[in-house]
Amino acid sequence: MRQFTIGMAASLALACSPTFAQEGFVELKDQCIACHGEAGYSEIPDTPSLGGIDDYYALLQLVAFRSGNRKADVMNEITAEMSDNDLRAAAAWIDSLPRPPKPDGEGDPAKMQRGAELVSQNHCNGCHGKDLLGGHQMPPLRHQREDYLLNALHDYKAERRFGDRAAMVEVVQKISDEDLAILAHYMAHLPEASDQ
């Protein structure tokens, strides 16, 4: 089993070339689309939307799945036999996806107000960006599936998920389960970034 390091992912990212997308990932892409969707957002419960994730962050996660340092049975199985070029191609494909749209319907007003307070109190935008759109080493949170966000927050709180995000474990420890649900609702239902 390969040992995951951020350095390994960084070296893979630096070695990217425009020709890698012709590699074996083409055969695996349909598996990605089946769960995560073709247009940047997932319609499957508890399955994250990938739109808006940049190639570097995507590559970090794919390397973590392949090494087994991030646990998700399906992803561990799919990435186990992927070559470095396959991982680069998958990351590039993810980077090409459009951001997920805002879900239909408005968020609950009380939850949206409390969610904004929680984001401010816990400095979520300090790492994930002022519009919660992520960045080079951070995932976007805006318009992510609410159920997936809530599961991820619970996984951090229960210390089931570490990876290179140990800070998240510390942040969520002091947040009640009720407020975690409010945070997930808030992030999923934010208006479009240009509408604020």
Report pLDDT for 166: 75
Residue from 96, 88, 91 nearest 23 by CA:
88
pLDDT tops 70 at residue 15: no
- The residue range of the domain holding 142 is 109-190
b/e map 113-150, b = 16+ CB within 10 Å: ebbeebbeeeebeebbbeebbbeeebbbbbbbbbbbbb
Domain-ending residue, one of 96, 127, 154:
96
Structural domain includes residue 38? yes
Structural domain includes residue 82? yes
Residue 66 shares a structural domain with residue 146: no
Q: Write the pLDDT tens digit of every residue in 75-97.
A: 999 999 899 999 999 999 999 99
Report pLDDT for 126: 93
Report pLDDT for 1: 40
Residue 87 shares a structural domain with residue 44: yes
Structural domain includes residue 1? no
pLDDT tops 70 at residue 99: yes
Structurally, the chain folds into a number of domains equal to: 2
Q: Write the pLDDT tens digit of every residue in 126-135.
A: 999 999 999 8
Contact between 188 and 146 under an 8 Å Cβ cutoff? The reply is yes
Helix and strand numbers, DSSP H then E, in the chain: 10, 0
Report pLDDT for 20: 43
Domain-ending residue, one of 47, 72, 96:
96
Q: How confident is the model at residue 55 (pLDDT cuts 50, 70, 90)?
A: very high
- Could you list the beta-strand ranges (E) of 63-163: none
How much is the pTM? Answer: 0.84
Phi, psi of 143 (to 5 degrees): 70, 15
Structural domain includes residue 168? yes
Residue 122 shares a structural domain with residue 180: yes
Higher per-residue pLDDT: 196 or 51:
51
Calculated CA dihedral for residues 137, 135, 133, 44, nearest 10 degrees: -50
Average pLDDT over residues 166-184: 94
pLDDT tops 80 at residue 114: yes
89 is written with which tokens?
């191609």
CA–CA separation, 70 vs 93, rounded Å?
20
Contact between 58 and 94 under an 8 Å Cβ cutoff? The reply is yes
Residue 10 shares a structural domain with residue 82: yes
Provide the CATH number for the domain around residue 17. Answer: 1.10.760.10
Amino acid at 56: Y
Residue 116 shares a structural domain with residue 65: no
Percentage of residues of the chain with pLDDT beyond 90: 69
Q: How confident is the model at residue 28 (pLDDT cuts 50, 70, 90)?
A: confident
